[in-house]
Structure 1
């Protein structure tokens, strides 16, 4: 398998661009859910690392804070952000945070590495991801054309990495036949597409909406809806979730229940409010100066979310089948799916 290509120029650009795009997200890393400096709020405190606070697929994290539901439950949640879900995973297993908002598939991958991690509330039943193709890459009409190409992902070992490999394998292209390039999301993804460093790539809204608006690329595979997930994977693909180390969950059930209560309130709220109303509740910086485009991004992604936080039936099995198609560690491992998630807290949420 080829190694991912590093792009120094993009790395520099990414630091500058992301600092402005996620300014409000970074503020969250030093502000509690009650709007006071972390560590000075009465009640239980929990740190959550999000694999990109400004990504629409992870919107329930910041929206729950904005709606005041953490505070209603009597917990002080500090939201931190990293550009990719795999970095959120690393922060969790290293003990820097108590929870991670990222893709459920990391729980299976971690189990093969001897790490017991449990998804406690499931935000979605579809990936919310989109495979974008540069308008300059006229020869890419299907994932079967990935061979010999540079395909963008958020990071090596990320869920976009997993799904990109699966799309290739499903269409007869081995993982070693194309180069996966870690380009992050937002400005760094867009810059890679513009410069031709990647010919295609997997990303989420609002990046998708920005690429289409700039007419830099077009959609090859849309996985933002249950129907899109069914077509791409043959079933529901639970993605965005809150997962935590299993031992921490077992030792802090009351706190976990309060967190899940807050998230389920948000999911229900989202299901009864318009994209415009949701966008209005999010930090102004997330719209990057274009509220209409941001609202459209939310509208396109809303179908991926659950309304109750419960793991969709057959979802874990779909994820396992997808990962086994290309990941040798998981293909040859016996996964105990029952230990990768729980519906206990979501079903008990009011």
Structure 2
């Protein structure tokens, strides 16, 4: 009996590290929603997945891809997803609606969204005011591409109701909609934008892939893609949240040190939209707008609130607690764990 007890005691000690690891992550299996996973806007998410960074943190992440960020947002609000890889501004919009969502690691330090017109249907385009009465394609109605469109329109004195907003997704469907003349303008991201640009099917009006241009458009640093989750999820699963932040920060740093060939070898073939050269150009155009460290810039939430308030009366009149829509605590710890790429 003593021998058996000793054996069981030793076995328990051997099993202890694994048990502790299992206890450390409150929710090792989780669902993450994203709107347009192929976009360079979400490149850190894809890198973290493809290079096994989530697995290295003990996570099994099931990524569900939607046509646009507004649909990914609905998934987490409805309970079918735990976390969203989406646009930062959704955290502000949802606080106004009584939903507590919080960003905890950044993927993009500029929106990377490009608004451009169709040279076929608008050959005489001179200014944004010419878009009145026109059809504008966005990834999905209510998504960040729609918000950017409304913002640029507002600066030109136009209301959202002055145009027709059409959801065209973020892949070949968006390209086809422009080339066939179904839409007169498009608000989208890379690689869609670079593909249209190279084929002469796009005239750029506003380009927030360039950090300086984005800051000029929005009047300050405009945080973009991030991981956000309900505050209740973060409170209940702090170690899981930290593991997610670790993986994304590691991916952020890897991207900054990577060359175009490294990216091409890592992303799924389908993301290239049939043209590797276009994807390389798109990556080089977007790289500067990707976050180097996962940290939300200090003035970023204020910029996002101002931008939203200028186009949404509800946001303008609401009393918003910006400290509740983001935290850099997890990203800071992730940078301590992964100081280099």
| TM-score > 0.5, shorter chain as reference | yes
* Aligned 8 A contact 2:171 2:273 in 1: no
Runs of 5+ in structure 1 lacking a partner?
1-42
**1:59 and 2:43 equivalent?**
yes
| Cα distance in 1, alignment partners of residues 208 and 257 from structure 2 | 22
Offset of residue 164 of structure 1: 0.4
**1:145 and 2:130 equivalent?**
yes
Which residues of 2 match residues 267-286 of structure 1 at below 5 A?
267-286=252-271
Which residues of 2 match residues 238-277 of structure 1 at below 5 A?
238-277=223-262
Task: Pick from 323, 338, 347 the counterpart of residue 308 of structure 2.
Answer: 323
**1:340 and 2:325 equivalent?**
yes
| Cα distance in 1, alignment partners of residues 183 and 92 from structure 2 | 29
Which residues of 2 match residues 93-132 of structure 1 at below 5 A?
93-132=77-116
| Cα distance in 2, alignment partners of residues 143 and 308 from structure 1 | 35
| Cα distance in 2, alignment partners of residues 282 and 216 from structure 1 | 25
Offset of residue 320 of structure 1: 0.5
**Deviations along 1:51-87, whole A, 9 cap, x unmatched?**
1111110111111011111111111111110010001
DSSP 3-state at the match of 2:193: helix
Q: Are the structure 2 counterparts of residues 319 and 44 from structure 1 closer, same or farther at C-alpha, using a change threshold of 3 Å?
A: same
TM-score of the superposition, structure 2-length normalised? 0.88
Runs of 4+ in 1 over 3 A off after TM superposition: none
1:189 is matched with 174
**1:231 and 2:223 equivalent?**
no
| Cα distance in 1, alignment partners of residues 228 and 144 from structure 2 | 14
| Cα distance in 2, alignment partners of residues 203 and 111 from structure 1 | 25
Moved more, 253-262 or 170-179: 170-179
1:163 is matched with 148
Equivalent pairs, count:
308
Which of structures 1 and 2 has the bigger CA Rg?
A: 2
1:198 is matched with 183
Offset of residue 99 of structure 1: 0.5
DSSP 3-state at the match of 2:71: helix
* Aligned 8 A contact 2:172 2:273 in 1: no
1:176 is matched with 161
DSSP 3-state at the match of 2:241: helix
CA RMSD of aligned residues (A): 1.3
2:8 is matched with none
| Cα distance in 2, alignment partners of residues 195 and 66 from structure 1 | 34
| Cα distance in 1, alignment partners of residues 57 and 313 from structure 2 | 42
Offset of residue 141 of structure 1: 2.8
| Cα distance in 1, alignment partners of residues 61 and 133 from structure 2 | 45
TM-score of the superposition, structure 1-length normalised? 0.85
**Deviations along 1:79-127, whole A, 9 cap, x unmatched?**
1100100010000111111111110001111111111100010111110
